[in-house]
Structure 1
Amino acid sequence: MLIRETTTEDWPAIWPFFHEIVAAGDTYTYPVTLGEREGRDLWLQQPPHRSVVAVDDTGTVVGTAKMNANHLGNGSHIAGASYMVDPAHAGRGVGRALCTYSIDWARAAGFRAIQFNAVVETNVHAIKLYESLGFEILGTLPEGFRHPTEGFVGLHIMHLRL
């Protein structure tokens, strides 16, 4: 698997699974009706931030990540990141590779920590992955997320000191 910086030509490969994941409404706080242009504008980061794709041996985009400063000004030393793996390629280590890549990026860019602002507590696979890489749950916003089948569930704030 190759992880490389995203180009605008990658968006048509990202959009189908990005749209599927957002429309499901069970892991992201984005509006489930998010349009393609708005999704592209949210996801494709401009330097010094970064968006990347994971590409398999056939050249297929199997996942993507975005990395950025989590806060502005005097909080800009904390990174943030988000990940999406094409459900057709789940369970193959794509998410782990993207997360590891973002940790390395944040360290190299001089960030002191990575903070995830809103990890849905029912997203147990992501939480298990993040914890295996050293992230800790700092707190949970009770009923901070309206899950489409589970009702109101918590949103974890997760943190990794670099």
Structure 2
Amino acid sequence: MLIRDATAEDWDRIWPFWHRIVSAGDTYAWDPDTPEPDARELWMAPANHVFVVEDEDGALVATAYVRPNYGGPAAHIANAGFMVDPDRAGRGLGRRLAEHVLDQARRDGYTGMVFNAVVETNPALKLWESLGFRTLGTVPGAFRHPEHGPVGLSIMFREL
């Protein structure tokens, strides 16, 4: 497994699973009908430090970004997004990528990381807790889950 900085050319390999994950409407608070150009702008924005994971065959199987969550005097707090190809879930890719991103964020000078909207039914919630994130609060019923109906969106934080 290789974790590396993404290039603009990687987007075409990210988009299929990005689209699959977001269009499912159960883990990200982005419009499930996000068009490809808008998705590219969200994920590959110049302010984002984007990473990809390639498996031993060179297939792109996961991606993440880290960026400042706030600006100005609060720009030392990071935000990140993570996606693992659903066909590759459960193999430890998310954990390894998260550990890499947390280390890189620390090296880049961030002192903490916040997730603004973790869907409380997201299986990754247990991963974030195991990596030291704690829930600061939850907005009840803020997310319309396609299977569970209204569920909470949690704000999670971890010092780096």
Q: Normalising to structure 1: TM-score of the pair?
A: 0.96
The amino acid that maps onto 1:26 is D
1:95 & 1:35 partners in 2: Cα distance?
25
Q: 2:90 is paired with a residue of what secondary structure?
A: coil
Q: Which of 150, 153, 156 is 1:152 aligned to? A: 150
- The yes-or-no answer on 1:140 pairing with 2:156 is no
Q: Which segments of 5 or more consecutive residues in structure 1 lack a partner in the other structure?
A: none
1:139 & 1:160 partners in 2: Cα distance?
13
The amino acid that maps onto 1:33 is D
4+ residue runs of structure 1 moved beyond 6 angstroms? none
Tell me the number of residue pairs that the alignment of Structure 1 and Structure 2 aligns. 160
C-alpha deviations, 1:51-75, integer Å up to 9, x for none? 0100001000000001100111122
Question: 1:39, CA displacement in angstroms?
Answer: 0.4
Question: 1:45, CA displacement in angstroms?
Answer: 3.4
Match of 2:124 in 1: 126
The CA RMSD over aligned residues, in Å, is: 0.9
Q: 2:142 is paired with a residue of what secondary structure?
A: strand
Q: 1:67 is paired with a residue of what secondary structure?
A: strand
CA contact (8 A) 1:45 1:67 kept: no
Q: 2:57 is paired with a residue of what secondary structure?
A: coil
CA contact (8 A) 1:29 1:145 kept: yes
1:46 & 1:115 partners in 2: Cα distance?
20
Question: 1:46, CA displacement in angstroms?
Answer: 2.1
State, as a whole percentage, how many aligned pairs show the same letter.
Answer: 51
Matches within 5 A, 1:99-118: 99-118=98-117
Q: 2:16 is paired with a residue of what secondary structure?
A: helix
CA contact (8 A) 1:23 1:33 kept: yes
Match of 1:65 in 2: 64
The amino acid that maps onto 1:22 is V
Moved more, 37-46 or 62-71: 37-46
C-alpha deviations, 1:26-64, integer Å up to 9, x for none? 0001101101110011001325x3001000010000000
Q: Which segments of 5 or more consecutive residues in structure 2 lack a partner in the other structure?
A: none
